[in-house]
Chain A
């Protein structure tokens, strides 16, 4: 009786989850459909299918320049955020020090903060400092939000790290740098990996912070937004589909790579 009840409940939960997942992916599916029309405006059912807009987007110099700006920002943010986040996570979860509890909460504040307001505050601050807005100021803006996220992602990995490993290495005569390179770094590698994946993707897709802090430099999300508001072309859904697909590939590819590496290491040890 109870078993039966349980399985009905599990089926209901499964159906509900499938429905929520459908809800989450309806816009992406719609965007994909809208990208496959060869007419100027989108009407459903689609009267003339075609990939004309895909080739237009791929050949557009403007889109290439935008992608390059977005890529430069995301790559720079990733490198800096991973370094900051790595040490930040050690301070968060590994070391016992006075003020740690306060620090843990302070790190969360930029995450628990409306991004549009943060973007405007940074705009005001950069202006007050007399900085010219460009993709470099956008890097700083992204970092304020992304470095704490990366810190948290890595901290979860650091919690599972056994400090006695480091002590053992030191006892066996390893120098500080050797311990770091041979013990700490490899053990925390999965955290570093997922941290950099998140840093890159969150920066690549960010809109509210870029909107106010890139100045004359344009990023893809900013460009898409401008196009949506005025001057829609089916190039918008094409770019939307590409970014969604790329994110999916990176996430699943990253996960598969991590599984593979963990298996390999477990097999080796």
Chain B
């Protein structure tokens, strides 16, 4: 018996090997290189200089960390708004729409595979002077529309738009995990709608909600296209600073140090949240 489990243990490890090699070379190694670069003197391009903390000092003396707060703030707002927007939709997909759910799910999937900058550009053409919305308002009602594009609100709007599927789908998985009998039992025992929601539905679907929030937050913290396309660079997110340091400024060590700060925030969050969940339970539903 013992021998059998040790034999079974082997194929798993062998099957995991190829993708582990890919991630070691394409994920872990690059991130280590970034960490290494963040300790190199400014404007150098090799990893073999005397390590220094000057890049981190520059960030905190130069107000660059302000952009980190913008990114964190916008990402948090995105998560809250999306949780509110998506919950009824996710609930409907699991409990209300029946066989229409598949078609609806596919419809919600389409934008996911169209490049986000194309879709954001659609919003630009929608809101811009002479675009669809102002044009319609003017011809039909003779109303002139105030500027919405190139404001912080437009950036948040774009982020809510782009990351919607990343909240919606994990949430759907989460709600599908709540057994129907459980809700019915609560109803039979005299719970009100609100009580069923608060005491049964919400706690049992938490894994989906948490994973959706985490995914949305992490991706939104790394958002860059929204601020560029819809924000007209009125807001500078951290990713923009990182990009500038890497490209125009040719200051890799500074960019690396900024990236390390962002990675720290992201990995702490991811580790805290992922620790709590058993993935077999969420994905397997056995």
A-to-B contact residues, CB < 8 Å: 5, 10, 12-14, 16-17, 20-21, 23-31, 33-34, 42-45, 83-85, 87-88, 90-101, 103-118, 120-125, 127-128, 140-141, 143-144, 147-148, 151-152, 155-156, 159, 198, 201-202, 204-208, 212, 220-221, 224-225, 228-229, 236-237, 239-240, 243-244, 247-248, 251-252, 255
Contact = CB atoms under 8 A, between A and B. Distances in A.
A207 B225 contact: yes
Contacts of B23: 106-107, 109-110, 144, 147-148
B111 A159 contact: no
Contacts of A151: 19
Contact of A44 (B30, B34, B136): B136
* Chain A to chain B: the 7 pairs with minimum beta-carbon distance, closest first: A114-B222, A27-B122, A97-B12, A95-B12, A44-B135, A91-B16, A125-B30
Given A23-B161, A108-B274, 19 more contacts: A17-B93, A17-B97, A26-B123, A43-B130, A87-B19, A95-B12, A105-B279, A112-B215, A114-B222, A114-B239, A122-B26, A124-B33, A144-B27, A202-B112, A224-B117, A244-B110, A244-B118, A251-B106, A255-B102
B26 A13 contact: no
18 contacts: A20-B85, A26-B122, A42-B131, A96-B8, A98-B9, A99-B13, A110-B27, A123-B246, A124-B33, A144-B27, A147-B19, A151-B19, A152-B283, A198-B113, A205-B115, A239-B118, A243-B118, A244-B118
A117 B242 contact: yes
Contact of B113 (A121, A236, A247): A247
B117 to A, nearest CB: 5
Contacts of A225: 115, 117, 225
Contacts of B278: 101
B118 A224 contact: yes
The listed residue with most B CB atoms (<10 A of its CB), out of A92, A97, A237, is A97
B246 to A, nearest CB: 5
Contact of B19 (A88, A95, A159, A244): A88
B33 A28 contact: no
Given A17-B88, A17-B89, A122-B30, A28 B125 contact: no
A106 B16 CA distance: 11
Contact of A121 (B34, B109, B123): B34
Given A16-B89, A252-B106, A207 B256 contact: no
A43 B222 CA distance: 33
Contact of B115 (A10, A87, A88, A243): A243
Interface string B92-134: 1100110000101011111111111111111111100011101
Q: Which applies to chain B's interface (DSSP): helix, strand, loop or mixed? A: helix
Interface in B223-248: 223-225, 228-229, 239, 242-243, 246
Contacts of A112: 214-215, 218, 266, 270, 274
Contacts of B285: 159
A143 B26 contact: yes
A114 to B, nearest CB: 2
A124 B45 CA distance: 9
Contacts of A204: 113
A236 B122 CA distance: 10
